[in-house]
Amino acid sequence: MPDLLRCNTIIGQPSHGNLAPVSPDEILSPREIEIARAYAQGDTYQGIATRLGIAPSTVRTHLATIYRKLEVSTKLDLRRRIGADASAEAATDLPPRPDKPSIAVLAFENMSDDPGQEFFSDAITTEIITALSRSPWLFIIARNTTFTYKGQNVDVRRVAAELGVRFVLEGSVRRAGDRVRVTAELIDGLTGGHVWSDRYDGETRDVFDLQDAITRQVVASIQTIVHRSTIDQPVERQSRPDLTVWELTMRSWHLLYDFAPEAYASAKTLLERALAIDPESAEANMVLSLINHHIAILGFAPDPRPAMEAAYALGRRATQLDDRNEYAHWALGISCWGLQRLDEGIAALERAVELNPNCSLAYGSLGTALAIAGRTDEAIRNQEIAIRMNPRDPSIFFRFSGLALAHYMAGDFEMAISWAERAIHRMPRWYLAHFLLAASHVALGRGDRARAAADASREVLPDLSLADVERIPIRDAARMQEFRDRLEVAGYG
């Protein structure tokens, strides 16, 4: 418990003596009860704040008040005080939650007028469970178990406690004629709070294609949301000596999405600890490969070559340790880009898609690799699949710049400009998008706009130079030289 909260606990508060303690429900407001239970069960300031739509500092203030009202001074005391009132949490025969992010998918409700359409809602649910189960990162409750709750008006927190999971996915299917609407909502089983939701509309002319499309979009979104929601404690707690290999790896995965050199330095420290404990952890090798790759391509090392070579070696190691892990093949595939191993990289990314057709990252990176190789139609198709599957991906600027590169290689410079601008809007420090924007303006004879784009890029990347283009080189030597020439015209020296 932070010292701030301890200091805010009022000293000398009158005790209840031998009287039975007053129930927290009689002392705390409904909002305070929700925050107290979430925090006592392991949630963080940021996690609680995100779900309730308030600032983390407000959560801290509420907790100080809660500690004062309940006359407790530690999280353990809070857990005991709150837990004594909650029957689900107080039960001793409930299964513990696993280390992995854990999800129970409840049977989607058939909201159609025709009860005979229940087969469709059941099929959607089964497909989502099957697809999620393919991920080595997730712990998924089997269909036979979750379907026992079908038709019941359930309390999501009770279901999560009974099944020992952190998240519960529920949804509904409404079909009318040839149209179908599927809604899905991910709930935090600790608090009952909303984490994510979306809606999908389609036509049922080919019901199996529709099932596949909805499943891919739901699964891709959930994989990203769950990873980022599971390990969200502050980085300063990384010094805890009792962190497991899994926790160290997941914290590092979380830091990957910060796209900052300080975060990557912290991630490397965590992963080195993980590999010291278990050198044969495929996940730790894989995430360390990704960290090194991003250090190289984002320009966080003066010489990117050592980081590229480390990323490649670690990616190879990860696939050797677990050939069925699609993320390991993804890491290996993208590590090949700057090392003139493009065919090997494409093969690894195709293997990742084969292992998990719901892995949007693999689709997007395959699209970029195909664009580098000049296979523009395939590149565009794969990027569009990735964006459709996971439109909220924090790394979606890579998808946008991948599309910009594909259109640039195809000679459609207006589209290249459009996608490059979108990528810059999402990530102003992404050098490749700036290069593609400037080179496309040169190709269209717009020297002034090209130079303006180059000047704008230096406002966020003061050291950006022509040498940086070698981080992700185009395979065709003539096209690569043409790219360099156009960047030189734009003013990159």
Strands 167-176 and 102-105: parallel
Radius of gyration, CA atoms only, the chain: 25
Using 50, 70 and 90 to split pLDDT, how confident is the model at 83? Answer: low
Which CATH code is given to the segment(s) 393-493?
Answer: 1.25.40.10
Distance CA 417, CA 426 (A): 14
Quick check: 204 pLDDT over 70? yes
Position 97 scores a pLDDT of 77
Mean per-residue pLDDT for 79-89? 58
For residue 20, pLDDT over 60 is answered with no
pLDDT, one tens digit per residue, over 109-123 is: 988 877 777 878 888
Q: Under CATH, which number does the domain 102-230 receive? A: 3.40.50.10610
Question: For residue 230, what pLDDT is reported?
Answer: 60
- Distance from C-alpha of 22 to C-alpha of 34, rounded to nearest angstrom: 17
pLDDT tens profile 291-342: 999 999 999 999 999 999 999 999 999 999 999 889 999 999 999 999 999 9
Architecture of domain 231-357: Alpha Horseshoe (1.25)
pLDDT higher for 51 or 360?
360
Q: Is the pLDDT of residue 360 over 80?
A: yes
Split at pLDDT 50, 70, 90, the class of 443 is very high
The alpha-helical segments, DSSP class H, found in 180-260 are: 207-230, 245-256
Three-state DSSP at 55 gives: coil
pLDDT at 62: 86
| pLDDT given at position 482 | 98
Residue 421 has pLDDT above 60, yes or no: yes
Given a cut of 50, whether residue 276 has pLDDT beyond it is yes
Residue 143: its pLDDT value, please? 81
How far does Cα 237 stand from its chain's mean position? 21
Question: Among residues 199, 298, 285, which one has the least CA distance to residue 249?
Answer: 285
Which H or E run contains 66? helix 56-70
Specify the higher pLDDT residue, 484 or 129: 484
* pLDDT at position 90: 40
Angstrom distances, CA of residue 159 to CA of 154, 155, 163, 173, 188: 7, 6, 6, 21, 11
Q: Are strands 167-176 and 139-140 parallel, antiparallel or unpaired?
A: unpaired
Domain ranges, ordered by start, for the chain:
3-90, 102-230, 231-357, 393-493
pLDDT for residue 229? 64
What pLDDT was estimated at residue 242? 53
- If one counts every other C-beta atom within 10 angstroms of the C-beta of residue 34, the result is 18
Predicted confidence at residue 195, as pLDDT, reads: 86
231-267 tens-digit pLDDT: 544 333 444 455 688 778 878 888 898 999 999 999 9
pLDDT at 64: 84
Per-residue pLDDT tens over the stretch 22-81: 778 778 888 888 888 888 776 777 778 777 778 777 888 888 889 888 888 777 678 778
Q: Degrees (nearest 5) of the Cα angle 457, 381, 364?
A: 55
Which residue type does 125 have?
T
Question: Other C-beta atoms within 10 Å of 157: how many?
Answer: 21
> Given this model, what pLDDT does residue 243 score?
66
3-class DSSP state for residue 176? Answer: strand
Q: CA separation (Å) from 284 to 231, 237, 359?
A: 15, 19, 19
In this predicted structure, what is the pLDDT of residue 400?
97
Please check whether residue 289 is in contact with residue 295, taking contact to mean a CB–CB distance below 8 angstroms: no
Packing angle, helices 413-426 and 396-410, rounded to 10: 160
- Domain covering 3-90, topology: Arc Repressor Mutant, subunit A (1.10.10)
Cβ atoms 318, 334 nearer than 8 A: no
pLDDT more than 90, % of the chain: 47
231-357 shares its CATH topology with 393-493: yes
Mean pLDDT of the chain: 85
